Structure 1
Amino acid sequence: MTDDISAVLARVEEEEAELVLPRFDLADAWALGSRMREAALAAGLPIVIGITLGEARVFHTALPGSSADNDGWLDRKTRVARRYGRSSYGVGLSFRAVGKDFDTDARLDPVLFAAHGGVFPISIAGVGTVGTVGVSGLPQAADHAFVVEHLRAWQSQPSSAGVRQA
């Protein structure tokens, strides 16, 4: 089981290193969040989506089938990504890979922090972490994969490099 965790952790660490953006602002947050919402609606995913810049929540939506519990999970996972500057999934995997439990070994209140998949830091090259993008409502690996898929797509488009498309 530790080998499986280590392999998944290695993949997640590669994603964290790869998904660094050249820029990200309020307009980007709205555009990325809207694209994620449309994709989730088309797939019938019962999720909430949230994007933060600094401490401000700049995009939030709840889709059919999601609940206030998903908002709570999103908030807890966002605190982990913000505190550690890496994906909430990566943080949880890092603890499990060395036989530790985040809820007890991190010495953080589990009512406020959850190291489960679904929230990814928004990192800007040469700057560092400026915010987060995340979802809650699916199993943690699926939450993480959904965010990674959309960050990759965002990163590969010309507008994410500072060339705005109308």
Structure 2
Amino acid sequence: MTVSQRLAELRQQEEELVFARFDNHDAWRLGSLIADHAISSGFGVAIDIRRHNLVLFRCVLPGATADQEEWIRRKSASVLRFERSTALLSEQFTDFDPLQRGWLAPEDYTLASGSFPIRVRGAGVIAAITVSGLASDEDHQLVVEGIRKYLKTVGA
């Protein structure tokens, strides 16, 4: 897949995966859905849904390490700042690394895939959902598949 094809795919995901509404109960149900899938797949991941510094859902499965906390914090900070998934940001910044040029502090942000914006129709980005513990692209896929399945169940 070319870079432009990957960018188109990631943009399409963000256009498609929009919530009609999202509250604390939705955070619990979405996070639990992803956690159940991760458990049945034997993934040692951490899952986090947050509105800036307010954690709405957190699950740390066996096999996840303390490092996942740092990855989650930095991935979600990137999503909440730019209102784009870290996978999309990573693809967009192929020719320019904002972490190396002093634009973004590497201790606060990362472009590693696995965090995705919770976008509500008419309200914009209100939260970030993040998975950490697998390879970056696998973290991203786990989030995207979870959101897609959740939106089908709630009829959004």
Aligned-pair identity (%): 34
Alignment-mate amino acid for residue 97 of structure 2: D
Task: Write the deviation string for residues 74-110 of structure 1: whole angstroms up to 9, x where unpaired.
Answer: 11000000000010111111001xx112322470101
Q: Give the Å deviation of 1:54.
A: 4.4
Q: Give the Å deviation of 1:10.
A: 1.5
Please tell me whether residue 94 in structure 1 is matched to residue 92 in structure 2: yes
Please tell me whether residue 48 in structure 1 is matched to residue 46 in structure 2: yes
Q: Give the Å deviation of 1:6.
A: 2.4
The answer for the alignment partner of 1:35 in structure 2 is: 33
Instruction: Tell me how far apart the structure 2 counterparts of residues 6 and 110 of structure 1 sit (CA, whole Å).
Output: 26
The answer for the alignment partner of 1:164 in structure 2 is: none
Where does the alignment leave 5 or more consecutive residues of structure 1 unmatched? 162-166
The answer for the alignment partner of 2:59 in structure 1 is: 61
Partner-residue secondary structure (3-state), 2:100: helix
Go from structure 1 to structure 2 and tell me whether the alpha carbon gap of 1:7 and 1:111 turns closer, same or farther (over 3 Å shift).
same
Q: Is the 8 A contact 1:48 1:61 kept in 2?
A: yes
Please tell me whether residue 130 in structure 1 is matched to residue 126 in structure 2: yes
Q: Is the 8 A contact 2:47 2:131 kept in 1?
A: yes
Partner-residue secondary structure (3-state), 1:104: coil
Alignment-mate amino acid for residue 29 of structure 1: A
Instruction: Tell me how far apart the structure 2 counterparts of residues 12 and 131 of structure 1 sit (CA, whole Å).
Output: 18
The answer for the alignment partner of 1:114 in structure 2 is: 110
Q: Give the Å deviation of 1:5.
A: 2.4
Runs of 4+ in 1 over 3 A off after TM superposition: none
Instruction: Tell me how far apart the structure 2 counterparts of residues 100 and 54 of structure 1 sit (CA, whole Å).
Output: 26
Instruction: Tell me how far apart the structure 1 counterparts of residues 102 and 153 of structure 2 sit (CA, whole Å).
Output: 37
Please tell me whether residue 149 in structure 1 is matched to residue 145 in structure 2: yes
TM-score (norm 2): 0.94
Go from structure 1 to structure 2 and tell me whether the alpha carbon gap of 1:102 and 1:118 turns closer, same or farther (over 3 Å shift).
same
Q: Is the 8 A contact 1:95 1:101 kept in 2?
A: yes
Alignment-mate amino acid for residue 69 of structure 1: D
Q: Is the 8 A contact 2:78 2:110 kept in 1?
A: yes
Instruction: Tell me how far apart the structure 1 counterparts of residues 31 and 118 of structure 2 sit (CA, whole Å).
Output: 13
Go from structure 1 to structure 2 and tell me whether the alpha carbon gap of 1:119 and 1:85 turns closer, same or farther (over 3 Å shift).
same
TM-score (norm 1): 0.89
Partner-residue secondary structure (3-state), 1:102: coil
CA RMSD of aligned residues (A): 1.4
Partner-residue secondary structure (3-state), 1:103: coil
Q: Is the 8 A contact 2:33 2:150 kept in 1?
A: no
Q: Is the 8 A contact 2:75 2:110 kept in 1?
A: yes
Q: Give the Å deviation of 1:13.
A: 0.8
